[in-house]
């Protein structure tokens, strides 16, 4: 079965890798976007350094907001295990992506066993209460007429502090009573439905509560692979995603190195795409190297190499929101498809200096 | 390959070699001078001091909290890019790749990350695996985790507690055990804001002292070479010297290591109620032979404090500079990240003086360890300047002249004449750490030792001498020459591997299923997940 193509001509993987290396060498402004595990990320970043590329996560907008919360402000956070065992009030700020719904369901079917809380109440700030995953949760909705999640959060914080608001938060008294009685409220959040001011407002509310009692926030990332890549990028370069090596050293700039923006603005002449889950749409005038899982070459791509999916075709290391850290994931049904890291290393071996990547 | 390091001044206290001579290396090991053989490679060490590679027993170089600090402070890293040396922030090595290179350039070949959350062991080891050149090791944190606190509360047998400690050390691939403000992180989750040695953790009825003593006993019985590594209660608080003194007394004849003692050396004398108790603590250490300590020296400038003492870090949020922090309630300890700038004002001067008092007044270099608690007291890149302060009274006096004289008047530093010798430096940074950690293959230059060697060109500028080693050899490879990296290689993480008790594994599996809804497998990983050849090196427990 063919796994590598130059244009639409199937070739050995080594030949495709050599051609990809040639394209990278001749590129003036290469960009990488990826959705892969920690080891794929490490190899991609090591290759980006060698060729002076900028890199970003695929669909990295929400991830960039979550990252900005850490780089710009910080905050108070809690582990998922502690949330399950300790949270007697759970507040969902905005909506959560589907991959976190099971965890929220588990919270609904358990009660805290640490800290003295005997039951678990749920509140929902400014989002739809009728979502299927919330059926067991039965949250009390906190909303402000005409306001979005961020506006509602601001009003909740103001009312908690005893300040006047133009429009009161629905069910606030119930929420205030729950907070007053709570041993350890936990706010669940994701960058998908909160902008940076909203994320900061949430942290402000939590900081206010912690003046006299305890509370924290559980970060449920918009993309688990994206958060894993963020961590790997941070330890490798000192910077999270949206970092560029164009000037020979890593530079972080969440606007400048937004790869989707760079491609749309015509700032990039080569796009290396790494994702076994999704395929790339080739931008006009941009040489595209697609590392993706498929039986056919990507239309318009200069090079396509088929890769295995982390945790499905290949063993992987990925962020797990269930444990709040990186986890080793065994391949569900191992195949011979190479993982992203090994293909990226192969490409690097064909760069002019021929040096192996450091990871 | 046979290598001869020729004509250097050998400083090897373990083997009693002090003076000019040659050192021979064959492949990865130091060998006796071979009769009738010519070296394949000769390194001219004329005018140089030759020591074993240095070992840092307490430096936060990787893991969840360290990485969160990087994430919180991208400006910290950006400032480290090439620029004039005096620029603010220019002295903090930050990425994993830089960390290994910077340590190697100073002649360090083994570094211990002292605070690994067992649940995040994979993350920590992945970071350590991306630190080139040097060997690494970790200490696993226990003492705020529900499983242990529940066992102590329920009066579990000492055997059961030892089985749990052994499982934690083995599964997390650690070299030892650390307890951080024992019980305080658990208490903080129940809104307790201060916590001392005899305070009791709510819901468990277990005192901090009881946790420390329980772990100390387990570590000793298991034959873990490194004594229990204790981060005491009340770090940073005026009057914390009393807590440190009580903890030293609690050793009760059994080995105990107290981390970054400088941060507990604070008295309450003077108008500001902040003074040095360095001399008092030094005397206590001198008179308590079962206790070892490392310093956590403060050096001035920007840094970031990274600690799993979440209660302490929460308390110090107001001092953050720049004003952003992360506080994390983890499954056991969690942690806090608080950036901080040490200023040469009254308080900073007191802290600086206390660290030096401890270094200079503790008599036995085998029991005092050279650390800045990187990056908490200062980045490890400040080590060369600290060596100069220890080895030169003139350098100390010159530095002190620029500090708060009111602060220094509250310490004994000005009256201390001691200057460390090369032999004492070699003990404190090589021989003693190897002994403390149970690393028999390093810390000395005897035949059979691992060929980890640092060669420093002697000169009047002591800091420069230690900043850029003339040669550094790791496992027989020349990795540094004239302060520049010459050879990139990958070290290993040194670990203990006590066999897990099957009954304890079953008990933990049931615990995780019931309390977290997860299999224990979630917290385990195969060595292959690290994706390095031989990522771990095994160290034996004591018989």
Closest CA–CA distance from residue B70 to any residue of chain A (Å):
6
**∠ Cα B394 B395 B397 (to 5°):** 65
CATH of A4-60+224-349, one of 3.90.320.10, 3.40.640.10, 3.40.50.740, 3.40.50.720: 3.40.50.740
Place of tokens 């709510």: B202
Tokens at residue A234, please? 């941070």
Q: Which helix (H) or strand (E) holds B19?
A: strand B17-26
Q: Does B343 touch chain A (CB under 8 A)?
A: no
Residue B423: the pLDDT is: 98
Residues of B in contact with A110 (CB under 8 A): 517
Asked if B330 contacts A82 with a C-beta cutoff of 8 angstroms, the reply is yes
Structure tokens at A176: 């205030």
Helix or strand (DSSP H, E) at A4: strand A4-6
User: Using the beta-carbon criterion (under 8 Å), do A323 and B126 form an inter-chain contact?
Assistant: no
Residue B162, pLDDT score: 98
Closest Cα in chain A, distance from residue B97 (Å): 6
Residues of chain A with pLDDT under 50: none
Q: Which residues of A119-135 are buried (b: 16+ CB within 10 A; e: fewer)?
A: ebbbbbbbbeeebebbe
pLDDT band at B89 (very low <50, low <70, confident <90, very high): very low
Residue of A106, A231, A251 with shortest CB distance to B517: A106
Tokens standing for B6?
A: 């020729």
Evaluate whether ipTM surpasses 0.95. Answer: yes
Does B81 sit within 8 Å of A230, measured CB to CB? Answer: no
Kindly report the nearest CA distance between residue A163 and chain B, in angstroms: 24
For the stretch B159-197, pLDDT in tens is 999 999 999 999 999 999 999 999 999 999 999 999 999
Reported as a pLDDT band with limits 50, 70 and 90, residue B82 is low
Could you report the per-residue pLDDT of B463-491, keeping only the tens digit for each?
999 999 999 999 999 999 999 999 989 99
Interface contacts (A, B; CB < 8 Å): 158
**Is the pTM higher than 0.80?**
yes
Residue of A nearest to B74 (CA): A239
Q: Which of A198, A196, A187 is nearest to A63 (CA)?
A: A196
Q: What is the mean pLDDT of residues B428-434?
A: 98
Catalogue all structural domains in chain B, each as residue range(s) with its CATH number: 51-82+96-493 (3.20.20.140)
> Which contiguous run of DSSP H or E holds residue A227?
helix A224-237
> Taking the CB of residue A271, how many other CB atoms lie within 10 A of it?
24
Using one digit for the tens of pLDDT, what is the confidence trace for B391-410?
999 999 999 999 999 999 99
Measured between alpha carbons, how far is B289 from B291 in angstroms, rounded to an integer? 5
Put simply, the answer to whether A82 touches B127 (Cβ < 8 Å) is no
Q: Residue B87 pLDDT > 60, yes or no?
A: no
Question: Which residues are CB-contacts of B488 (< 8 A; sequence separation ≥ 6)?
Answer: A358, B132, B133, B479
Please tell me the distance from the alpha carbon of residue A19 to that of residue A302, in angstroms, as a whole number: 9
Cβ contact, residue pair A214, B190, below 8 Å: yes
Looking at the predicted structure, is the pLDDT value of residue B125 above 50?
A: yes
Mean pLDDT of chain B: 95
Break chain A into its structural domains and give their ranges. 4-60+224-349, 67-219
Smallest Cβ–Cβ distance between B189 and the set A70, A214, A323 belongs to A214
The pLDDT value recorded for residue B46 is: 98
CB B40 within 8 A of CB B2: yes
At A151-205, the pLDDT tens digits run 999 999 999 999 999 999 999 999 999 999 999 999 999 999 999 999 999 999 9
Q: Find the CB nearest A326 among B76, B122, B328.
A: B122
Q: Which residues does B159 contact at the CB level (< 8 Å), separation at least 6?
A: none
Number of C-beta neighbours around residue B507 at 10 A: 18
Name all contacts of A264-270 with Cβ < 8 Å and 24+ positions apart.
Answer: A267/A29, A268/A29, A268/A30, A268/A31, A268/A54, A269/A27, A269/A28, A269/A29, A269/A30, A270/A23, A270/A24, A270/A27, A270/A29, A270/A30, A270/A31
Q: Is A82 on the interface with B (CB under 8 A)?
A: yes
Measure A92 CA to nearest chain B CA, in Å.
Answer: 18
Is some CB atom of chain B closer than 8 A to the CB atom of A100?
no
Instruction: Please state which CATH number belongs to domain A67-219.
Output: 3.40.228.10
Within 8 A by CB and 6+ apart from B527, the residues are B535, B536
- Asked if A4-60+224-349 and A67-219 have one fold, the answer is no
């Amino acid at each position: 079965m063919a796994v590598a193509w130059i244009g639409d001509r199937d070739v050995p993987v080594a030949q495709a890798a050599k051609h990809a290396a040639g394209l990278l060498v001749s590129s003036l402004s290469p960009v990488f976007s990826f959705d892969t595990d920690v080891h794929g990320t490490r190899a991609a970043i090591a290759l980006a350094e060698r060729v002076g590329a900028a890199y970003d996560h695929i669909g990295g907008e929400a991830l960039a907001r979550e990252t900005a919360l850490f780089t710009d402000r910080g905050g108070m956070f809690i582990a998922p295990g502690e949330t399950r065992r300790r949270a007697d009030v759970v507040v969902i700020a905005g909506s959560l992506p589907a991959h976190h719904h099971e965890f929220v369901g588990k919270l609904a079917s358990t009660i805290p066993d640490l800290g003295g809380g005997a039951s678990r109440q749920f509140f929902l700030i400014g989002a739809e209460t009728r979502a299927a995953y919330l059926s067991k949760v039965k949250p009390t909705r906190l909303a402000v007429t005409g306001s979005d999640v961020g506006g509602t959060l601001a009003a909740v914080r103001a009312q908690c502090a005893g300040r006047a608001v133009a429009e009161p938060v629905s069910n606030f008294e119930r929420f205030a009573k729950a907070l007053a009685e709570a041993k350890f409220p936990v706010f669940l959040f994701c960058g998908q439905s909160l902008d940076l001011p909203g994320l900061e407002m949430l942290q402000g509310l939590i900081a206010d509560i912690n003046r006299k009692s305890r509370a924290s926030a559980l970060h449920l990332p918009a993309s688990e692979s994206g958060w894993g890549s963020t961590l790997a990028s941070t330890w490798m370069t000192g910077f999270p995603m949206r970092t560029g090596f164009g000037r020979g050293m890593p530079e972080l700039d969440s606007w400048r190195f937004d790869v989707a923006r760079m491609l749309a603005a015509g700032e990039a002449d080569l796009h290396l795409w790494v994702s076994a889950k999704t395929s790339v749409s080739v931008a006009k005038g941009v040489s595209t190297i697609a590392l993706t899982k498929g039986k056919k070459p990507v239309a318009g791509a200069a090079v396509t190499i088929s890769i295995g999916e982390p945790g499905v075709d290949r063993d992987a290391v990925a962020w797990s929101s269930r444990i709040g850290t990186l986890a080793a994931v065994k391949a569900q049904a191992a195949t011979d498809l190479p993982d992203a890291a090994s293909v990226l290393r192969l490409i690097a071996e064909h760069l002019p200096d021929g040096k192996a990547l450091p990871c | 390959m046979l290598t001869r390091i020729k004509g250097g001044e050998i400083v090897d206290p373990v083997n009693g070699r002090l003076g000019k001579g040659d050192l021979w290396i064959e492949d990865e090991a130091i060998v006796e001078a071979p009769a009738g053989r010519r070296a394949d490679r000769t390194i001219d060490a004329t005018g140089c001091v030759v020591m074993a590679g240095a070992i840092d027993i307490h430096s936060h170089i990787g893991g969840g909290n360290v990485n969160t600090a990087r994430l919180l402070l991208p400006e910290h890293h950006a400032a480290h890019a090439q620029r004039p040396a005096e620029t603010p922030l220019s002295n903090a090595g930050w990425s994993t790749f830089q960390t290994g290179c910077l340590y190697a350039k100073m002649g360090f070949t083994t570094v211990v990350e002292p605070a690994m959350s067992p649940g995040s062991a994979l993350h920590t080891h992945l970071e350590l695996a991306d630190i080139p050149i040097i060997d690494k090791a970790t200490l696993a944190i226990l003492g705020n985790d529900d499983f242990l606190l529940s066992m102590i509360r329920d009066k579990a047998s000492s055997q059961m507690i030892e089985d749990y400690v052994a499982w934690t050390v083995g599964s997390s691939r650690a070299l030892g055990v650390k307890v951080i403000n024992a019980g305080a992180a658990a208490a903080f989750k129940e809104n307790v804001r201060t916590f001392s040695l005899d305070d009791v953790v709510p819901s468990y009825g277990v005192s901090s002292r009881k946790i420390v003593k329980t772990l100390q006993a387990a570590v000793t019985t298991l034959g873990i070479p490194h004594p229990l590594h204790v981060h005491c209660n009340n770090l940073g608080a005026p009057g914390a010297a009393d807590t440190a003194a009580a903890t030293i007394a609690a050793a009760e004849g059994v080995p105990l290591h107290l981390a970054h003692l400088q941060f507990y050396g604070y008295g309450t004398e003077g108008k500001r109620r902040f003074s040095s108790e360095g001399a008092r603590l030094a005397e206590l250490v001198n008179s308590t032979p079962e206790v070892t300590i490392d310093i956590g020296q403060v050096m001035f400038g920007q840094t970031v404090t990274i600690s799993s003492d979440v209660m302490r870090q929460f308390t110090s949020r107001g001092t953050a500079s720049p004003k952003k922090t992360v506080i994390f309630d983890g499954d056991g300890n969690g942690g806090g990240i608080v950036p901080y700038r040490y200023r040469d004002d009254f308080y900073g001067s007191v802290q600086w003086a206390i660290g030096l008092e401890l270094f200079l007044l503790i008599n036995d270099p085998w029991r005092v360890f050279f650390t800045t608690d990187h990056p908490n007291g200062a980045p490890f890149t400040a080590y060369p300047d600290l060596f100069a302060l220890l080895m030169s009274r003139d350098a100390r006096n010159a530095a002190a002249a620029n500090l708060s004289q009111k602060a220094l008047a509250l310490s004994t530093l000005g009256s201390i004449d001691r200057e460390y010798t090369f032999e004492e430096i070699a003990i404190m940074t090589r021989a003693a750490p190897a002994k403390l950690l149970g690393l028999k293959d390093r810390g000395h230059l005897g035949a059979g030792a691992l060929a980890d060697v640092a060669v420093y060109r002697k000169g009047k500028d002591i800091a420069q001498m230690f900043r850029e080693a003339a040669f550094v050899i790791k496992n027989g490879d020349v990795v540094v020459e004239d302060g520049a990296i010459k050879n990139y290689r990958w070290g290993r993480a040194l670990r203990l591997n006590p066999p897990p008790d099957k009954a304890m594994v079953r008990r933990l599996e049931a615990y995780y299923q019931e309390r977290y809804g997860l299999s224990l497998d979630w917290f385990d990983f195969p060595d292959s997940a690290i994706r390095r050849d031989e990522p771990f090196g095994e160290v034996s427990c004591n018989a």
